[in-house]
Structure 1
Amino acid sequence: MHISAILKDKGDVVHSTSPDQSLQGVVDTLLGLRISSLVVLSPTGELLGIVTERDIVRTLKSSPDTWMTVRVEEVMTRELYVAGPDDSLGTVIREMRERHIRHLPVIVDGKLAGVLSIRDLIASSMTELERHNDMLKRYINDWPQDGPGQ
């Protein structure tokens, strides 16, 4: 299964923020949408990074009295692992596991096309495994019963 199929099923809604947004604004957005990350986009829509709950928690630890006014650009992750539409589900899950990341921007033709979470990928993986399992069961059930030696 390719990332393009998963993105098609999920849809192309992308929640984002700007680099000059305060972490208080990010927290309000995350809580309001019940999500755990926002991609950071420039005014022209260029992908600059991602800000996650982990970034906020680290900032809370290092700046407990001023975290609310810290700007996204000060704490966001800039070095992103991104996927393309033709990347395989297995490859992407392996990379996310090895890199300890939970959110994956998907780039199509140089533009942000969506964001997939590890939850999205696990759900797709389970669906794919169930489909394979059903195919194998049908194959076994359709196997000729009166073969040689019977």
Structure 2
Amino acid sequence: MMCPVCGYDNLPGEEMCASCLQPLTQLDEPQPRDPLSEALMRTEVRELRPQKPITVLPTTSVRDAIRRMVEFSIGAVLVVNESGQLVGIFSERDVLMRVVGLHEQFENLPVSLFMTPNPEGVKDDHSVLFAVHKMDAGDYRHLPVVRDCKPLGVISARDILRFITNHL
């Protein structure tokens, strides 16, 4: 890592220049290369205006959970316990991959049998880039926005696409 002050070629990861003792830690931070990258890095998740979470209890029937998704035109409901803490997410993908065709009489079974337990989430002050990374790494289309284990909202792949489109 080249020192911007004296030009000394330091070893990668050094915190201070071995020659002039200037701090080098700020050089390790990723720098945006274009306006979209900058927007992704600098914008907080709250600025996406996450949808208000539609929640169900673990004991809610699959039928009722699907009805709520249809009623609110959403792709996922958040599953919360009696205290309102996030314990799972039940999505369109769960319906298609875990329920339909695999279980007879599934409509009366509790959503807890088919939900994705302990889902990844982001805080509302995390960067949009952090959220995109989580969605990509986990292959998620919906990501809960949480504070103190309680859901504040949900962001979706559609929200990310809208953000990108607005910043092109």
TM over 0.5: yes
Gap runs ≥5 in structure 1? 131-150
More helix, by proportion? 1
**For 2:155, which of 116, 119, 126 is the aligned residue?**
116
**For 1:62, which of 80, 94, 102 is the aligned residue?**
102
Shift >3 Å, 4+ stretches? none
Q: Distance in 1 between matches of 2:148 and 2:69?
A: 28
Gap runs ≥5 in structure 2? 1-42
State the Cα distance separating 1:118 from its structure 2 match.
Answer: 1.2
Q: Distance in 1 between matches of 2:111 and 2:137?
A: 25
Q: Distance in 1 between matches of 2:88 and 2:127?
A: 23
Bigger drift between 19-28 and 107-116 goes to 107-116
* Contact 1:51 1:76 survives alignment (8 Å): yes
SS in structure 2 of the partner of residue 62 of structure 1: coil
- Structure 2 partner of 1:136: none
Across the aligned residues of Structure 1 and Structure 2, the Cα RMSD in angstroms comes to 1.6
- Structure 2 partner of 1:6: 48
TM-score (ref. length: structure 2):
0.68
Q: What letter is aligned with 2:90?
A: V
- Structure 2 partner of 1:135: none
Aligned length: 125
Query: CA 1:87 to 1:24, structure 2 compared with 1: closer, same or farther past 3 Å?
Result: same
- Give CA-to-partner distance per residue, 1:34-70, whole Å, 9 cap, x none: 111100011221111100112122211211x211112
State the Cα distance separating 1:25 from its structure 2 match.
Answer: 0.9
- Structure 1 partner of 2:33: none
